[in-house]
Amino acid sequence: MLICVPEVLSKADVADFRRVMDGCAWEDGRSTAGAQSALGKRNEQLSADSEVARKLGHRVLSALSASPRFISAAIPLQIFPPLFNRYAAADDHHFGIHVDNAVRGDPLTGLRIRTDLSVTLFLSEPEEYDGGELVVEDLYGSHEIKLSAGDLVLYPASSLHLVTPVTRGTRVASFFWLQSMVRDAHARSLIFDLDTAIQALVERLGRDDPETVKLTGIYHNLIRTWAEV
């Protein structure tokens, strides 16, 4: 399941994020990579334990909580504190093909999560840079993702993925992982499809329509069956 969520951050929010990050020191991005993925990782990150990264991360989490599409797709139980990276053409930045670590721990909070889903929140407009596509592989082939600033993409953390070399400009993004209440990816996909259909029916028939109410009950009962909390 690969799902794009538009306008998680407004353009004004993105501009403010970029203004704050432009005044920060950046470090080698390999500091948060596993042993294998570090071999192919070449980018920069804000220090994960910096005050700026934590404050911006809280703003991302607040925006996510206000995004019905994100909540519907992820059904999040725990979200890892968002991190921030940049890929610059001048430094030949890229990230080779890899799979994210199965478990992530945050040394500042003690939080440990199973990484069910990976998330990339784009903070650069596509025209600001060449290359830098996020490429995710699944059973149906390779998918190249390059979204507008403020949009994000969710994809299975178990997927092979990479970031192609940036050949012009700078690609800035937030990235993080989450543990879903619904561990099974297929079940989570079915729940998302059902919720999407229900919302379409609500638009046409209203929330009090008997069939809409019945389907909403089925939706919640499926979550009740599959949720781990």
- For residue 163, the domain's CATH number is 2.60.120.620
Continuous segment of H or E residues that includes residue 39? none
Same structural domain for residues 130 and 189?
A: no
**In a shared domain, residues 116 and 219:** no
Same domain, 119 and 167: yes
Structural domain containing residue 214: 185-226
With CA atoms as reference, report the closest residue to 171 among 191, 149, 190. Answer: 149
CB burial of 90-122 (b: ≥16 within 10 Å; e: otherwise) equals eeebbbeebbbbeebeeeeeeeebbbbbbbbbb
- Same domain, yes or no: 165 and 206: no
Type of residue numbered 150: G
Residue 66: which residues within 8 A CB-CB, separation 6 or more?
none
31 and 93 part of one domain: yes
Query: Same structural domain for residues 88 and 190?
Result: no
Q: Do 134 and 189 sit in the same domain of this protein?
A: no
Q: How many domains does the chain have?
A: 2
pTM over 0.85: yes
- 137 phi and psi, to 5 degrees? -100, 135
pLDDT digits (tens, 9 = 90+) for 44-94: 999 999 999 999 999 999 999 999 999 999 999 999 999 999 999 988 999
